[in-house]
Amino acid sequence: MTDPRPYHILSYGTLLGSQVFQSFVGGIVAFRALPRPQFATLQTAIFPVYFSMQTALPIVVALTASRGGQALGLSGLAAPENRYNTLLPMATVAITGLINMFVLRPLTTKTMRERKHQETRDGKKSYDAPPHSKEMVALNKKFGRIHGLSSLVNLVSLIATVWYGAVMSKKLE
């Protein structure tokens, strides 16, 4: 029970699996299967959990990194041989989770709320066929930028996770 290796593999697998599923399966299937309002409600409920996992799991992965069954500890993670191959990718994943959770998600939610109010004023949904009011065009553009930035941040996180997986696989015997 004190050997960190099983926890390391399980936390890494959970991290990678959740990222791949949310990015390439769950989100896409939900978008195609649900009407927009229900899709938005689902994503609003999922993202806090997803971003929390994206922040916490890389910390667990880093803290359970080991050599010969002995956890590296903070000083071991900061050692030159682990700094770029363990600490950097896992810190990147944790930081991108924090950015999505505390910066981009609130901006997205605020913009969605503003679009909802504008839909009431315009009498037309943000995703209805054009033409749209100037205000709605601006809100849709703002939402697209924030959503695109969030997707880019998520992609950086996924790349860092896969990078660490490649590093970890080279240690297998």
DSSP string, 108-133: HHHHHHHHHHHHHHHTS-TTSSSP--
For 71, phi and psi rounded to 5 degrees? -55, 145
Instruction: State yes or no: pLDDT of 168 exceeds 90.
Output: yes
How many other CB atoms are there within 10 angstroms of residue 31's CB atom?
Answer: 13
DSSP state of 170: T
* Confidence at residue 23, expressed as pLDDT on a 0 to 100 scale: 96
* Confidence at residue 50, expressed as pLDDT on a 0 to 100 scale: 98
Distance CA 169, CA 23 (A): 23
The string of pLDDT tens digits covering residues 122-136 is: 999 999 999 999 999
The string of pLDDT tens digits covering residues 14-45 is: 999 999 999 999 999 999 999 999 999 999 99
User: Do the Cβ atoms of 14 and 42 come closer than 8 Å?
Assistant: no
The string of pLDDT tens digits covering residues 47-56 is: 999 999 999 9
> Beta 66-67 vs 70-71: how paired, if at all?
antiparallel
Q: Could you give the number of structural domains in the chain?
A: 1
How many other CB atoms are there within 10 angstroms of residue 8's CB atom?
Answer: 19
User: Do the Cβ atoms of 22 and 46 come closer than 8 Å?
Assistant: yes
Distance CA 64, CA 29 (A): 33
* Confidence at residue 11, expressed as pLDDT on a 0 to 100 scale: 98
